[in-house]
Amino acid sequence: MRRLGIHSFVWTGGQTQEGLEMALNKTAEHGYRTIEFAYLRPEKFNLDRLAKLAQSLDVEIGVTMGLPLDKDVSSEDTSAVLAGKQTLADAIRAVRDIGGNKLGGILYSAHTKYNRQPTKKGWDNSVAAIAATAEVARQANVDLVLEVVNRFETNLLNTTAQGLKFIAETGSEHVRLHLDTFHMNIEEANPAAAIRLAGDKIGYFHIGESNRGYLGDGVINFDLIFDALLDIDYKRDIVFESFSTTVVDEGLSLACAIWRDTWEDNDPLAAHAKRYIELKYDEAKRRRA
Ligand code: FUD
């Protein structure tokens, strides 16, 4: 792994400058070296100040988001697709301006529980929009990673195999997958096999438990996950993600159906996750030695 990071929603709903600055400080204090800002609203913040603070703390910033339905690039409606492309291009500029290194999340569709089947035309529209976005991202020196999520959060890319087909169709070497153990646990028959299948096409990796709470409390077999990540020689960032109603954001909490507390105190959660990930990673390395 390159850098171990933490999702900002462990610290803050992300609605204020102070909240994001606190999140950066907490991240560094706990020894994480990258943070994920989700649903960043660039117009609300002083991006330059956040960039400088991150740099002074040696914490890198990644940004993730999902599209709203009226900007869904997997829609058959041309105006929604155009609006979505514009949103993605704006988001890449915000990532660049905050000194960030990647844009991830549900960039290829709306982040929602769909009430319709995906369509071939919608898939093609999304592939074309992501191919165009990849070029914007490449020029801005920002990685573009597509998060494969469970069926209740998109209707387009629920499995790694679908994600690989999608990125192949974009024809761009600049698009990679953003995989997440919570989602894989729901959709993949064999999460470790999915990691091996994706190999070098994994650009970003989320570690989350099956109940989105404390690592180790749920059903995910992290030994198999870390064995697979070592097998493919995964060298990019790994980020711990956990959600609770202790930290609420209108957009993300609703899209992810976060209706209850999996924890109340974020400091012990963050400390535990870092110890847990480092331990599992070391154990996997020892198994190989
Ligand atoms: C959502 C999820 C998150 C989310 C991201 C979007 O279920 O797993 O990774 O997609 O935070 O900003």
Q: What is the mean pLDDT, run by run of 10 residues, along the chain of 289 residues?
A: 96 94 98 95 93 98 98 98 98 96 98 98 98 98 98 98 98 98 98 98 98 98 98 98 92 92 97 98 96
Q: Report the number of distinct structural domains present in the chain.
A: 1
Instruction: Tell me the residue range of the domain where 107 lies.
Output: 4-288
- Provide the phi-psi class of 171: left if phi over 0, else alpha when psi is between -120 and 50, else beta: left
CATH number of the domain encompassing residue 20: 3.20.20.150
Enumerate residues lining ligand 1, CB below 6 A.
38-39, 64-66, 105-106, 147, 149, 153, 180, 206, 241, 252, 256
Give the span between the Cα atoms of 22 and 7, in whole angstroms: 13
Q: Where are the beta strands (DSSP E) in 134-201?
A: 143-147, 175-180
Report which protein residue has its CA nearest ligand 1's atom 11. Answer: 38
* Residue in the block written with tokens 């020689």: 233
Q: What is the pairing mode between strands 34-38 and 102-110? A: unpaired
The pLDDT score that the predictor gives to residue 2 is 93
The pLDDT score that the predictor gives to residue 238 is 98
Catalytic residue among 36, 60, 153, 241: 241
The pLDDT score that the predictor gives to residue 123 is 98
For residue 4, which phi and psi values (nearest 5 degrees)? -95, 130
Q: What is the largest CA-CA distance in the chain?
A: 55
The pLDDT score that the predictor gives to residue 134 is 98
* Structure token digits, residue 214: 């404390």
Q: Is 60 a catalytic residue?
A: no
Give the span between the Cα atoms of 5 and 134, in whole angstroms: 24
Under 8 Å between Cβ of 63 and 88: no
172 CA from centroid of ligand 1 (Å): 23
280 CA from centroid of ligand 1 (Å): 23
* Structure token digits, residue 66: 């999902």
288 CA from centroid of ligand 1 (Å): 31
The pLDDT score that the predictor gives to residue 15 is 87
**142 burial level (CB within 10 Å; 0-12, 13-18, 19+):** buried
* Residue in the block written with tokens 């991150």: 54
The pLDDT score that the predictor gives to residue 267 is 98
